[in-house]
Structures are given as structure tokens and as C-alpha cells.
């Protein structure tokens, strides 16, 4: 069986999940893995270090306005019709100012991007990232928040919100309990705390992601995008 980006394969995925029932889980009525996805030529795996370097190099090109617009041709489009193997996965905020493919100067099939207001690690988000890592083979997940995040601001206000907005805000509030909101730049502190909290939630709430980390097949990185400068900073 081909191993692409460290693709773990059908049997190994079942072991990671620990539940035979996952074998019948479906996306659009088909198994999580398809024959087309696993019956492709081998390529070199992209380890977490290499993947992060690609992202940061791309962000540097974006900063310097030296973008290469890689993998955006019709040829690339056709190449991806039967399978995808993104080298990195991004959990990002849905904010229109933070499009991952643009700020990292990437193209078709490079990134598996999941975006939601406040980059909240909900069950559906976690399930999507389990798919991108255990099935598609991404060995890097970047939790990408950003300066001036509106969802974080609303969580700080701690006021009731109409409709389903509260689901987003409530997903952020636990992160705020970990920071001092009375000193320093409370908004930057809150954004940083939320990014780190959501990254922790990915590992705590998913046995699949935790197992991949334990066997060296996955790294989760926290990062913050500065909408004023365009720079992505890694949070230690």
C-alpha cells in the first residue's frame, strides 16, 4: 500500500480509532478512504518540520510580495481529480482577512483547511482533522488564530448573543479563564490563549490525533497571524 505524507492506511486507521464501527463512517456515502486514494504512486512523506518550513517560507514570500502562486495550473487541477494528499492541515478562523492559501502562498491540494469563527475546535472540526491526518496523511496541524479576532472580542464581552453565535463564543470562554484580562494588552493575550487552548483541545478530545502524535506521525503547532503586517508568528 502506498504511503503518502505518512498515510497510515485502512487497517492502521481502524487501530487508531479503536472502534470497528468507524469503518462504516462515510463522507457522501463512501468510505473515508477510497481505492483511488490508496492506489496511487508513492511520494516522499512530508514530515512536520518540512511542512512547517514550507508554510513559513510561503508566508515570507507573501510578506515580501514575492509570491510564486505554486500549484495553481490546470495541469495541477487535473492531477488532483483522483486523490488529495495535503502536506499540512490548518484550523483557522473564518475571518475573511485570513485566507490560508494566500498568506502561505500555496496552491491546489497543498493544504487541508478547516475554518470557523474563533478557530474553535468543535467536534466537527476535530473529525475533519482526524480525516486529514489519519486518512489523507497530513503530519502537521496548524491552529491559526489572528490579531483582532472578533469572536474572541465577543467572548471577552461576556454578553448574550442571538441565534447560534453563542456556540462559538462558549467555545472560546474556557480559554479566557487562563489569562489575566486586567493587565497588558488583554485582546492579544486573549487571542493567544484561545489559540493555545484550541490546540490543546485537539489532542485532548481526539484519541486518533493523540495516537498519531505519540507515534511521531503528527505535530500540532499554534500560530498567530498579524492582520496588520501579514506575518504568521509561531506561538511557543
Cell of 123: 467536534
Cell of 74: 490546470
CA pair distance 100, 98, nearest whole angstrom? 6
Query: Strand 30-31 relative to strand 26-27: parallel, antiparallel, unpaired?
Result: antiparallel
CA pair distance 147, 46, nearest whole angstrom? 29
Is residue 146 part of an annotated ligand binding site? yes
Dihedral (CA of 115, 198, 149, 140) sign = negative
Cell of 153: 472580542
Distances in whole angstroms, Cα of residue 107 to Cα of each of 10, 35, 37 = 27, 24, 19
In what helix (H) or strand (E) does residue 152 lie, and over which residues does it extend? helix 150-157
Residues 68/105, Cβ–Cβ less than 8 Å: yes
CA pair distance 170, 157, nearest whole angstrom? 12
Annotated binding site for Zn(2+): 93, 95, 146, 149
Annotated binding site: 93, 95, 146, 149
Amino acid at each position: 500500500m502506498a504511503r503518502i505524507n505518512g498515510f497510515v492506511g485502512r487497517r492502521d486507521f481502524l487501530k487508531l480509532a479503536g472502534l470497528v464501527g468507524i469503518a462504516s463512517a462515510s463522507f457522501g456515502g463512501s468510505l473515508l478512504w477510497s481505492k483511488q486514494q490508496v492506489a496511487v504512486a508513492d511520494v516522499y512523506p512530508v514530515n512536520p518540520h518540512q511542512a512547517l518550513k514550507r508554510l513559513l517560507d510561503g508566508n515570507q514570500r507573501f510578506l515580501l510580495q514575492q509570491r510564486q502562486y505554486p500549484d495553481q495550473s490546470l495541469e495541477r487541477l487535473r492531477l488532483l481529480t483522483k486523490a488529495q494528499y495535503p502536506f499540512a492541515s490548518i484550523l483557522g478562523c473564518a475571518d475573511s482577512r485570513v485566507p490560508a492559501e494566500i498568506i502561505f502562498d500555496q496552491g491546489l491540494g497543498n493544504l487541508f483547511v478547516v475554518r470557523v469563527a474563533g478557530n474553535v475546535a468543535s467536534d466537527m472540526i476535530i473529525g475533519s482533522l482526524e480525516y486529514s491526518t489519519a486518512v489523507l496523511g497530513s503530519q502537521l496541524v496548524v491552529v491559526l488564530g489572528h490579531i483582532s479576532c472578533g469572536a474572541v472580542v465577543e467572548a471577552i464581552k461576556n454578553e448574550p448573543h442571538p441565534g447560534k453565535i453563542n456556540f462559538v463564543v462558549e467555545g472560546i470562554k474556557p480559554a479566557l479563564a487562563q489569562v489575566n484580562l486586567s493587565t497588558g494588552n488583554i485582546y492579544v493575550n486573549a487571542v493567544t490563549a484561545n489559540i493555545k487552548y484550541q490546540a490543546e483541545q485537539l489532542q485532548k478530545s481526539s484519541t486518533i490525533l493523540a495516537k498519531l502524535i505519540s507515534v511521531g506521525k503528527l505535530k500540532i503547532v499554534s500560530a498567530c497571524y498579524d492582520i496588520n503586517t501579514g506575518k504568521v508568528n509561531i506561538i511557543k
